[in-house]
Amino acid sequence: MAFSVGNPVNTALMLYIIYRVNSILFPPVKPPTAIPHDFRDGYSWMPKSHPPTMLYKAATFALLRFIALTTYTPKTLAPFNGVNGQRILLAINGVVFDVSRGRNFYGPEGMYANFAGRDASRGMAKQSFDEEMLTDIDRPLDKLQDLTPSEIENMNGWIDHFSSKYTVCGRLVNEDEV
């Protein structure tokens, strides 16, 4: 069973083994000279471009805001609960968010369906989804006066979260303030 160079299969295998052992014992150390643009191409990668940012042009925004911000009352907000495939809206502290993208949560079969089309401020502050957190549509909006500072902070935290995740599309006021 001696190794003879004349045997091509054995030679090929032997060369392959020598090559592998060499790369295990003496691994390559040159970092890549071209920066890979995908994480699968290399560890030291860099995305190809910056995340897109839009330049704020004051006039455009004022126009958009004028068009897009509607005033809702508890009665006009209530239909927007996603039941018949329409948009799902909810309000926190007078700001109305369009949460249609979160249909799984806020839609008719969702965990937080209670909040759809309603003022969710108290529920957000007290971290509860109970029916008691909601004020009846016929009654004036919950003034939230008995909330503790930490509950108000919690509610503001939710407003930040909703502002970054969903779009603001209006404000919620009482019937007589329209």
Stretch that binds another protein, among 33-41, 76-84, 92-100, 119-127 (CB under 8 A): 33-41
Q: How far is the CB of 153 from another protein (least distance, A)?
A: 9
Q: Which of 111, 100, 104 has its CA nearest to residue 162?
A: 100
Q: Quick check: 30 and 130 in contact, CB under 8 A? A: no
Ramachandran angles phi, psi of 9, nearest 5°: -65, -45
Residue 41 beta carbon to another protein: minimum distance, rounded to whole angstroms: 10
**d(Cα 157, Cα 143) in Å, to the nearest integer?**
18
Stretch of residues binding another protein (CB under 8 A), selected from 13-21, 107-115, 126-134, 167-175: 13-21
83 binds another protein, rule: CB under 8 A: no
Looking at the Cβ atoms of 45 and 112, the one nearer to another protein is 45
1 near another protein (CB under 8 A): yes
- Establish if 59 lies at the interface with another protein (CB under 8 A): no
Query: Binding residue for another protein (CB under 8 A) from 84, 93, 109, 161?
Result: 161
CA angle centred on 38, ends 34 and 40, rounded to 5°: 105
Phi, psi of 151 (to 5 degrees): -70, -40
Positive or negative: CA dihedral 119, 125, 130, 136: negative
Min. distance of Cβ 10 from another protein in angstroms? 5
Q: Any contact of residue 24 with another protein (CB under 8 A)?
A: yes
CA angle 155, 158, 161 (to 5 degrees): 160
Binding site for another protein (CB under 8 A): 1-3, 7-10, 13-14, 16-17, 20-21, 23-24, 26-29, 31-35, 39, 42-57, 156-157, 160-161, 164
